[in-house]
Chains A and B, each alone.
With several copies, the nearest count.
Chain A
Amino acid sequence: MISKKVANVSEALEGIKDNMTLMLGGFGLSGIPENSISKLVELNVKGLTCISNNAGVDNFGLGLLLHKKQIDKMVSSYVGENAEFERQMLSGELEVELIPQGTLAERCRAAQAGFPAIYTPAGFGTEVAEGKETREFDGKMYVLEHAFKADFAFVKAWKGDAAGNLIFKGTARNFNPVMCGAAKITVAEVEELVPVGELDPNQIHIPGIFVQRIFEGKNYEKRIEQRTVRPKL
C-alpha cells in the first residue's frame, strides 16, 4: 500500500505559490475543503485562479479568499449569494469566467481521465460559445471545451484511508470526485481517516491513485446556506 498520509494541513499545502491555478470541490458550502481554504487564507497566497462551482458566501468558503483579494480569476457556474464577489466582478478587480455546470464537471473529468477536450451541447448559441469551435454531429450542435490544467485540487471527503481511498457523503460529493487526479497534486481532507483495510473495496468512490496527499481535517463547520424545514408533527 502506497501511503498518501500527511501530518496536517500545512504539510498538505506544501508547494503552494502565488499565481497558481486551484480546483476546489463543493457545491455551495456543501462538501468544500474547509481546512485547506483556511490554510490558503493564512498563507496569503495571491493571484490565484480558482476553479470551483461556486464562490462561497461573504464570510465563508471561497468568500474568505475573495475578501483578502487573493483571487485574480474565478471559473465557476454560479456565483450568486456573494455581495463582495459581485462588487469585485462588476468593478473589474476580479476576472470571472462563467461556464455551464455540466461543462465544469466534464472539463475536470477530462483532466482526470486524459482527454484533451470534449464536445458538449451546453452553451451553443450563447456567449459561452463565443470564440470556441462548434460542430454538428447528427444534426445537433456542440461546443468544444478543453480540459482544465490546474496545479492543485483540494477536495473534501467523508471518510478516507492512508492509501488515499475516498468515500463521500450525500450531496457533499458533487464536484469532489471529478477533481481528484485532475490537477498535478490532489489534496484530500477527510472528516475521518480510517485504518487501511476498513473501507470496503467495492464501495470506494475514488481510488487512492488519484490522490497525492490526505489528512484528517478539524473543526468542520459545515454551514447550511438555506435551512428549509418542516415543523415536527
Chain B
Amino acid sequence: MLDKNGIAKRIAKEVKDGYYVNLGIGIPTLVANYVRDDIEVEFQSENGVLGMGPFPFEGEEDADIINAGKQTITTLPGASFFDSALSFAMIRGQHVDLTILGAMEVAENGDIANWKIPGKMVKGMGGAMDLVASAENIVVAMMHTNRAGESKLLKRCSLPLTGVGCVKKIVTNLAVIEVTENGFKLLERAPGVSVDEIIAATEGHLLVEGDIPEMQL
C-alpha cells in the first residue's frame, strides 16, 4: 500500500519530456518532487505562472509569487507571469498537456466530483471545472477509500459533479486504474496489495484482465 508520497511518485511516471503540467492542491503538488531529472517539464499554476520552481528559501518568500494553493513559490529561468484570462486560455485551449488533481469520487464512466458536499462542505471548484472540461489527459490522485472506509471509485458519483466523462487514469494508494469504455480497468497493483483487496475496495465495476503487475516506483 502506498502513502501520499508513493502515489505522487507513481504519478510522476506519467509526466513525459516536454510536458506542460498543471498540478492540483494536495497529493498532486507532491508530484513535482519525483519527476525525473533528465526530462524537461514546466509546471503551470492557474493563478498565473508558468515555470514554477521549488519553495523559496526561508526569508526569501514573496507575497506576490504564489501558486494556486496560495503557497509561496519560486520561478525557474524561462518562467512567465500572466493574468487569469490568459492562464485559462492555456487550459481551455488545451496547451497544457497533463492535469493531475485530487477527487472525492470518480465514477466508472470518468465522471469526477471534488468540490462540494451538499449542506456540509462547500469550498468551490476553483479552476477544477475548467481543467477537467478542457484537458485531454487527466490523472486523478487520491486514496482508494474515504475516511469512513468507503470506496471512492463508484458506479456513479453521489456528490455534485465537477466534470463528466473526463478522467482517464486514477492512481490510488492501492492501484493504477484506467477509465475505459467498459468501466474501470486495473493496470497495476501497489506493492503488497492483492487484486482481491483492490476489487473489495472498488465499488464500480473493475475489469481485471490477465496478470496484474506490481507498480514500479
Q: Do A and B bind?
A: yes
**What residues of chain A have their CB less than 8 Å away from a CB belonging to chain B?**
1-3, 27-31, 53, 76-81, 86, 89-90, 96, 98-106, 108-109, 111-115, 120-128, 158, 161-163, 165, 168-178, 181, 196-197, 201-202, 204-205, 207-210, 222-233
CA distance A174 to B163 in the complex (A): 24
Q: Which residues of B contact A114 (CB under 8 A)?
A: 89, 91-94, 134
The interface residues of chain A lying within 8 Å CB-to-CB of B18 are 2
Contacting A at CB under 8 A, from B5-54, are: 18-20, 40-42, 44-51, 54
Q: Which A residues lie within 8 Å of B161 (CB)?
A: 125-127
Instruction: Give the residues from 85 to 104 in chain B that come closer than 8 angstroms, CB to CB, to chain A.
Output: 85-96
**Closest B residue, CB atoms, query A123:** B129
A31 to B125 Cα, complex, angstroms: 21
Q: From the candidates A86, A126, A181, A207, name the one contacting B122 in the complex (CB within 8 A).
A: A86
Pair A125/B123 contact, Cβ less than 8 Å: no
Of the stretches B57-65, B169-177, B190-198, B202-210, the one at the interface is B57-65
Where the two chains meet, the residues of B that have a C-beta atom closer than 8 Å to any C-beta of A are 18-20, 40-42, 44-51, 54-73, 75-96, 111, 115-116, 119, 122-130, 133-134, 160-165
Q: Is the CB of B72 within 8 A of A113?
A: no
Interface of A is mostly: loop
By Cβ-Cβ distance, the 8 closest A-B pairs, closest first, are A102-B88, A114-B92, A197-B77, A113-B89, A163-B78, A125-B164, A102-B130, A80-B123
A-side contacts of B83, CB under 8 Å: 105, 168, 173-178, 205
B92 close to A115 (CB less than 8 A): yes
Some 14 contacts from A to B, beta carbons below 8 A apart, are: A1-B42, A1-B76, A27-B47, A53-B84, A101-B84, A101-B88, A102-B84, A102-B130, A114-B92, A115-B92, A169-B64, A208-B42, A229-B57, A230-B57
Beta-carbon contact of A228 and B71 below 8 Å: yes
Flag if A102 contacts B127 (CB, 8 Å): yes
B56, B73, B81, B127: the one within 8 Å of A173 (CB): B81
**Sample of 14 more A-B contacts, CB < 8 Å, known A27-B48, A232-B57:** A1-B40, A30-B64, A76-B124, A77-B126, A98-B116, A101-B129, A122-B134, A170-B65, A171-B65, A201-B80, A209-B90, A228-B71, A228-B73, A229-B55
A233 CA to B58 CA, complexed, in Å: 10
Q: Which residue of A lies closest to B83 (CB)?
A: A177
Instruction: List B contacts of A168 (CB < 8 A).
Output: 81, 83
Q: Which of A29, A86, A99, A209 has the most CB of B within 10 A?
A: A209
Q: Shortest CB–CB separation between residue A196 and chain B, in angstroms? A: 5
Q: Are B81 and A170 in contact (CB under 8 A)?
A: yes
Known contacts A76-B124, A105-B85: A100-B64 contact under CB 8 Å:
no
